[in-house]
């Protein structure tokens, strides 16, 4: 099984510790694959996304970055990912992201890639899709693609992932847990999960929070879930 970093969001200053951990994991002789398709290109075009990812990772020694957009996901196989050091899936609209991955069967490729020791970094929407269910995004994302199935890839045990967590989200999270019967790991900006061989560890500068029925548990950085 490969390695998975799921980040709660934030700018490059907030995610610096997380980004450094990711950079230390990968083979910098190979290109990094960047997939920014969750982003609304009417607001932020892909050229700007590509400039951003380079500004984040070039200073950390990752200087060779390849970007794939929607059309480049078609007819791909897991072998196509083996030429890359890792896959970085950016944030944006979670419904749109999962819809594109499902339509192109790229979710299956990501699963296979992880099973074959791949490394994936998902930020915000790119993190939420790896949980049990993506309806944790419904308070901030619009389902403008009319997605009908909300199951995520289910690679964080049975947890759903809540990103950009703030304490005033607690009631929304409790209602989600009651409605969908999934426990939730909530990630503030500056916080991520590092998943390696079934072990889930919190990384970053702020704690994560686990919600299960009426329980809210604080998980400090470097602690295991």
Mean pLDDT per block of 10 residues along the chain (225 residues) reads 96 95 98 98 97 98 98 95 98 98 97 97 99 98 98 98 98 97 98 97 98 95 98
Domain hosting 135: range is 3-219
**pLDDT value of residue 214:** 84
DSSP state letters, the chain? --EEEEE----TTTTHHHHHHHHHHS-TTSPEEEE-TTS-TTTS-HHHHHHHHHHHHGGGT---EEE--GGGGTT--GGGGTTSSEEEE--S-HHHHHHHHHHTTHHHHHHHHHHTT-EEEEETHHHHTTSSBSGGGTTT---TT-----B----BTB-EEEES--GGGHHHHHHHHHHH---EEEE-TTEEEEEETTEEEEEESS-EEEEETTEEEEE-TT-B-
Domain membership flag for residue 22: yes
Domain membership flag for residue 77: yes
What is the pTM (predicted TM-score) of this model? Answer: 0.97
Q: What is the CATH number of the domain that holds 115?
A: 3.40.50.880
Number of domains forming the structure of the chain: 1
Domain membership flag for residue 225: no
Domain membership flag for residue 18: yes
**pLDDT value of residue 184:** 99
Domain membership flag for residue 96: yes
**pLDDT value of residue 119:** 99
**pLDDT value of residue 1:** 86
Domain membership flag for residue 105: yes
**pLDDT value of residue 153:** 98
**pLDDT value of residue 46:** 98
Domain membership flag for residue 69: yes
Domain membership flag for residue 192: yes
């Amino acid at each position: 099984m490969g390695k998975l970093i799921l980040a709660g969001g934030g700018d490059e200053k907030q995610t610096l510790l997380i980004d450094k951990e990711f950079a230390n994991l990968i083979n910098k002789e190979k290109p990094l694959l960047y997939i920014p398709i969750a982003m609304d290109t009417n607001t932020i075009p892909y050229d700007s996304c590509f400039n951003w990812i380079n500004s984040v990772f070039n200073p950390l020694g990752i200087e060779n970055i390849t970007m794939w957009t929607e059309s480049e996901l078609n007819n791909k196989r897991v072998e196509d990912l083996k030429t890359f050091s890792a896959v970085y899936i950016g944030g944006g609209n979670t419904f749109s992201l999962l819809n594109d991955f499902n339509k192109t069967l790229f979710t299956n490729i990501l699963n296979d890639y992880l099973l074959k020791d791949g490394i994936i970094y998902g930020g915000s929407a790119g993190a939420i899709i790896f949980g049990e269910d993506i309806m944790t995004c419904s308070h901030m994302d619009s389902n403008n693609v009319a997605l009908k199935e909300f199951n995520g890839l289910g690679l964080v045990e049975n947890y759903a992932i809540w990103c950009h967590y703030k304490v005033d989200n607690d009631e929304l999270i409790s209602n989600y847990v009651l409605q969908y019967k999934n426990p939730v790991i909530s990630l503030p900006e500056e916080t991520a999960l590092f998943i390696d061989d079934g072990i889930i560890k919190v990384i970053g500068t702020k704690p994560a929070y686990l919600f299960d029925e009426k329980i809210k548990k604080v998980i400090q950085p470097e602690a295991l879930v």
